[in-house]
Amino acid sequence: MNYNQFEFAIKDEDRRQWLIALLSEFGAEGFEEKTSTVTAFAPAEDLDENRVQLILDENDLGDIQFTVTVIEPQNWNATWEQQFEPVFIADNKVGIRAPFHEPLDTEIELIIEPKMSFGTGHHATTASMIQLIMGIDHMGKNVFDIGSGTGVLAIVAEKLGAESILALDNEEWAYENAIENAQRNGCSKIEVTRADASELPDRKFEIVYANINRNVILDNIGKWKANIADGGLLLVSGFLEADVTAVVDAAKEHGLNVVEKIVENGWVAISFTNK
């Protein structure tokens, strides 16, 4: 599958966050923010130049200039090696590096090669989820990672002592990438499966992760409730501060109550308890 890389010239912070929120709803799966630009990645079949221009025009953003570059799967690793630097999360307790970097002196070290998957710890959503995860006792727990991408969160769970982890993603390349990254990190308790976020197992888990996006969370949070054990936790991310009320209200409708909220660069991660 080819990806389109869109680079937008935009300096205003509010407009930048609005643009990211819009593109998230229309299929963009990863973003890189800089002082005067936003770079977005989306499957070519979901977002092309004409559709993006229409989205901008319909939301009073039509003056924003952008360029489009096609990224073929076989070229992703080259881009990755040129741009990626190790990242440190949760007060430097977690370090994430690529296979070609030197080992890191952190409590937990992850070696991640993303290929066409998203989830390296660089984006605020993944980093915030890891911060939440690090504050939770995983020893002997069963974990369900919905929309697992590179498998980075599942790998953290195993390193924290989880008894078993089910990692689910609907993309073939994410499925394969998560398996490779689990093996690369010496993990043996992660089961990776390919399925949609609404195709759920008939199992209960003490901890459930869903680092996806606002729409998927709102559409499926009621279904995910059936997978959360009594007293268990649901951790969600992939949405902006403007969406917090909608997500929290949807969770409350299904008996899920807020435990902790982390906000980073306008992105939010929340943990809920099933009590």
Q: Are 136 and 37 part of one and the same domain? A: no
Decide: residue 98, CB within 10 A, 0-12 exposed, 13-18 middle, 19+ buried. middle
Instruction: Record the pTM.
Output: 0.78
Q: Are 179 and 241 part of one and the same domain? A: yes
Domain range for 152 is 119-274
Asked if 156 and 209 count as a contact pair (C-beta separation under 8 A), the reply is no
Q: Are 39 and 156 part of one and the same domain? A: no
pLDDT tens profile 29-52:
777 777 889 888 888 888 999 999
10-residue mean pLDDT series, the chain (275 residues): 88 85 80 83 89 93 94 61 79 92 94 72 85 97 95 97 96 89 97 90 96 90 96 94 93 97 91 96
CATH number for the domain that contains residue 32 = 3.30.70.100
At 118 the pLDDT is 63
Q: For residue 97, is it within any domain?
A: no
Look up residue 241 and give its DSSP letter.
G
User: How far is Cα of residue 178 from the mean position of the Cα atoms in its chain?
Assistant: 13
Q: For residue 165, is it within any domain?
A: yes
CA distance linking residue 45 with residue 26, whole number of Å = 11
At 75 the pLDDT is 55
φ and ψ of 153, to 5 deg: -70, -40
Instruction: Give me the number of domains the chain comprises.
Output: 2
Residue among 89, 78, 201 at smallest CA distance from 135: 89
φ and ψ of 80, to 5 deg: -60, -50
Q: Are 251 and 150 part of one and the same domain? A: yes
Residue among 262, 265, 206, 232 at smallest CA distance from 33: 265
Q: For residue 204, is it within any domain?
A: yes
CATH number for the domain that contains residue 196 = 3.40.50.150
Last residue of a domain, one of 71, 104, 131: 71
Tokens of 158: 């195993």
